[in-house]
Chains A and B, each alone.
Chain A
Amino acid sequence: MLFPTLAFGVFFLIVYFTAWSLDRENGKRKLFLLLASWFFYAQWDWRFVGLLIGSAILNWGVAALIARDRERRGVGPGEKGGNGWLVALGATANLLILGFFKYYGFFVQEAGELLARFGWERDLPLLQIVLPVGISFFTFQGVSYVVDVHRGKTPPAKSLLDVMLLMSFFPHLVAGPIVRASDLLPQFDRTPRLTREMATHGLLLIVWGLFKKTVIASELSTHLVDPVFFDPTAFGALDIAAAVYGYAVQIYCDFSAYSDMAIGLAALLGYSFPRNFDQPYRAASMQSFWRRWHISLSSWLRDYLYVPLGGGRRGLLASCINVFITMVLGGLWHGAALTFLAWGALHGGVQVIERLGRAVFRRPEGAEERRSVLLTVVGVLVTFHIVCLGWILFRAESFDLALQVLEGLGRAGPAVMLTPLLLALIVGGLAMHWLPPRAIEGMAERLKGAPSITLGLLIGAAILLVEAVRPEGVAPFIYFQF
């Protein structure tokens, strides 16, 4: 059940009205939301609801053991402490689940090829494993919950129901954002309040997300990116360049649309999710890009991978190695393929160069931080094109295909696929990064005072516009596969 479908619309209306009719009984409300989330997840494959339940029980149990151990040792709230083995147990169990479903086939295949090179050909047990939708997201959420309880950043959940809802809550279940326990568990303690500002913001985010996904991303994907990346040798430089830029816009509009809709849906149910995108193509450096792109993942990688590796505490060299390892593993998180590893390595490598550059050209102490407009523009352009280079690796199904795309950028030829409409969508998709940074919030602030009929008509008209131009059916979100 995808967000931009009629079935989901009907499902959400039922959930919305039922959930608010239970506003005086928070426990029953949470139970209802949990059952609705399981129903939502079961639309993909009901068997994996069991995995979701098992994962939640595992994390709840480990966190409870950690909390009891901390209490026994007298570790106060906010302090890090307790048995490290329990945390390791919880994190390992989560990663084993993720590893089995996501990476088993990849590693067995790679190991088989490696053995064959040394003349040890073996029939390794290959399994056709179906990847549960959103497993990376709820597994990362489980890890963060266990580690945060150990670090004293969040108290253990008051009930198993809270942990289950934390991991299964349908707006963020299949493609994030990765909502931390410290963000969501306190909101589960009492029936949430819905304010006009929250509701208006949520409705606008849903409409904006619908537009980005079903109009921009779908149109670019169907009519430009997919055909060009299917056979790059059939197209000239103009089409291939347009497809690369088009994919940059498509993946942004696709993924940020899901996040926007997830945040909006949660807001209509009274819950607040953190922002996940912040105009990423405005970034003037790769470090800045990762502070704006998939913020919930980049902050997760920082807190649970980069910092435990040592972060920047052991000097420049160690920090460069740590950031490189973090980005490579971040690439591997996106998918079990060498192209994703290369994508992570590219991002990690550029960040290492940036760090070294900053260390070499460091300003003297007390010097005023001033950056010229020209340098910023150059930084934005360079960063954007490095990101686009990464997207070629990200989108191509193999290295060979990625190389064909790169070769095609030097091949002259007429624009066959690129049309004025597609060009306008690419330019528009990039131009939206230069809107005021909090444009939706500002609009919500203005509209929250409007009568409900006026706002309802405006929202209805906006959805009608989107519905009129969208193609029949809708492709799954790109990040579902991760």
Chain B
Amino acid sequence: MTNYRDEPPIPLEPFPTVRGDSPFPPLAESVAPPAAAEPDPPSDWIERADAHDLPTRENALVALGRFAFPPAPPLDEEGVAARDRRWTSRTVMVAAVFLLVFNAVSPLNWSRQQPPGWVPETVRQLSEVWVARLAVFGVDMPRQGVREGWDAARRARFVGQTQDSGTAADGSTAAAEP
């Protein structure tokens, strides 16, 4: 301000005082409003508390185990399929090995039914050794036991039936008179 009327007015504000629009959003919009403070728990909380909601203390060994061996991430579809294939293959292999031990006589029987040749002869010789070695441990007993039971059932006859009639244990049939 001045006392001289003729003096040109001194620009009080040499710089533009009106600011243009900011390219940025107003500060208030980019900052989330403060969360409302949680209300105090009701004074009777202890009466309504459920023991199962309370944090439980984990076994230290379990916690250590999870730290040492963290669980694998969940499998995708391909992973599940591969896991199921492995499971099936293991099942098949376990069954095959089980039969190779407890049904060791089967390859021997097969080789005896084949026409002579290199493969049947090799299988026969290997099987004979295999069967003989396993027989030491008695692994052929279950099969033999079942077989004997089955043969006994085959030999059974109705009351009044003769043993000669019907089928013999070896599978041959007795011709019946009309």
Contacts and interface: CB of A to CB of B under 8 A. Distances in A.
Interface in A203-262: 203, 222-223, 227, 233-235, 239
A465 interface: yes
Interface string A394-433: 0000000000000000000111111111000000000000
Nearest to A468: B146
A268 B165 CA distance: 44
Given A456-B95, A463-B103, A419 B88 contact: no
B126 to A, nearest CB: 14
A194 B98 contact: no
Contact of A420 (B110, B158, B178): B158
Interface in B121-178: 142-144, 146-147, 150, 153-154, 156-158, 160-161, 165-167, 171, 173-178
Contact of A461 (B98, B113, B173, B174): B98
B91 A455 contact: yes
A28 interface: no
Interface string B63-96: 0000000000000000001001101111111111
A16 B165 contact: no
A421 B103 contact: no
A268 B160 CA distance: 50
Contacts of B173: 222-223, 227, 417
A17 B86 CA distance: 11
A195 B103 CA distance: 29
Nearest to B152: A421
B178 A196 contact: no
Contacts of A416: 161, 165-166, 174, 176
B91 A203 contact: yes
Given A417-B167, A419-B167, A459-B91, A6 B106 contact: yes
A158 interface: no
Contact of B88 (A223, A233, A268, A417): A268
A48 interface: no
Contact of B94 (A222, A235, A417, A456): A456
Nearest to A219: B154
Q: Is the interface of B mostly helix, strand, loop or mixed?
A: helix
A471 B171 contact: yes
Interface residues of B, number: 46
A419 B176 CA distance: 14
Contact of B103 (A20, A453, A467, A469): A467
B93 A456 contact: yes
A417 B165 contact: yes
Contacts of B84: 193-196, 199
B178 A464 contact: no
Q: Which of A414, A467, A472 has the largest number of chain B CB atoms within 10 A?
A: A467
A457 B98 contact: yes
A473 interface: yes
Interface in A447-482: 452-453, 455-457, 459-461, 463-465, 467-469, 471-473
B176 A235 contact: yes
Nearest to B162: A416
A200 B119 CA distance: 33
A7 interface: yes
Q: Which of A456, A457, A465 has the largest number of chain B CB atoms within 10 A?
A: A456
Interface in B101-117: 102-103, 106-107, 109-110, 113
A354 B85 CA distance: 49
Given A199-B84, A455-B91, A464 B142 contact: yes
A452 B167 CA distance: 41
Contacts of B146: 464-465, 468-469
A263 to B, nearest CB: 16
Contacts of A456: 90-95, 98
A233 B157 CA distance: 22
Given A421-B154, A472-B113, A463 B95 contact: yes
A223 B167 contact: yes
Contact of B175 (A199, A234, A418, A419): A234
A124 interface: no
B99 A419 contact: no
Q: Which of B95, B146, B158, B177 has the largest number of chain A CB atoms within 10 A?
A: B95
Contact of A473 (B113, B143, B150): B113
A13 interface: yes
A419 B113 CA distance: 29
A452 B165 contact: no
Contacts of A415: 158, 161
A464 B88 contact: no
A196 B82 CA distance: 11
Contact of B91 (A199, A223, A461, A473): A199
Nearest to A408: B178
Given A199-B87, A453-B94, A473-B113, 18 more contacts: A13-B96, A20-B89, A194-B88, A196-B87, A222-B171, A223-B154, A223-B167, A419-B154, A421-B154, A452-B91, A456-B92, A460-B98, A460-B102, A463-B99, A464-B142, A468-B144, A469-B146, A469-B147
Q: Which 6 A-B pairs have the closest CB atoms?
A: A456-B94, A460-B98, A452-B90, A468-B146, A199-B88, A416-B176
14 contacts: A16-B92, A20-B85, A193-B84, A194-B84, A195-B84, A233-B178, A234-B175, A417-B173, A452-B91, A456-B98, A457-B94, A459-B91, A460-B99, A465-B146
Interface of B: 81, 84-85, 87-99, 102-103, 106-107, 109-110, 113, 142-144, 146-147, 150, 153-154, 156-158, 160-161, 165-167, 171, 173-178
